[in-house]
Amino acid sequence: MSVADTSTAAPNVTEAAAALQGQLHVQASGQVRGLDERIFGFNRLLIGIVKGSIDAAYSYQDDGTLRQDVRRFYVLETVARVPYFAYLSVLHLRETLGERDLRETMRLHYAEADNELHHLLIMEALGGNATAFDRTLARTMAFFYYWYVVGVYVLSPEAAYHLSELIEDHAYDTYDDFLGEG
């Protein structure tokens, strides 16, 4: 493929985001199924446990240095990018099974995963992954979280997006608190 072909085939993330927002709006305007409500509740519980565990683990070891914050951010960024490639895994499977209208949604989630990868690379460059404890904690959580998100996305994409919303809200609060301390 030529360079020109590549540029014309480049994902239009803005259009994809608008399309997905439209789909979610249509879903949200419909009746929320009982299954969704139960998953929503479990999502809140799960994120509360994950957040509480990370906060407890790092406040226990807190020595007041920037390095300490970067270690915690490394764990958060490792876990926070999981949903996007979990969505992509399921969407690839659905595409393999015959669905043909997933392209824009997949491009959006690929862009999101790429964006989150850069956050993770920044934390690694700052030394967030220097200890075996942090790497083990982050990767173990990411491994199990991946399978949970895959399962939820199969059952209810809306509930899976709710999970991402909770994670991103937590990330926003975490960085906002950090900036407030500075």
Decide: is 111 part of the binding site for Fe ion (CB under 5 A): no
Q: 11 vs 21, 46, 86, CA distance in Å? A: 16, 33, 19
Nearer to Fe ion, 43 or 164 (CB): 164
Could you tell me which of 19, 4, 26 has the C-alpha nearest to residue 107?
19
Decide: is 116 part of the binding site for Fe ion (CB under 5 A): yes
Query: Residue 116, Cβ neighbours under 10 Å: how many?
Result: 21
Report d(CA 147, CA 153) in Å as an integer. 10
Decide: is 166 part of the binding site for Fe ion (CB under 5 A): no
Q: Which of residues 69-98 bind Fe ion (CB under 5 A)?
A: 77, 80
Question: In the 8-state DSSP scheme, what is residue 31?
Answer: P
Decide: is 112 part of the binding site for Fe ion (CB under 5 A): no
Decide: is 119 part of the binding site for Fe ion (CB under 5 A): yes
- Output the smallest distance, CB 120 to Fe ion, in A: 7
Q: Which residues bind Fe ion (CB under 5 A)?
A: 77, 80, 116, 119
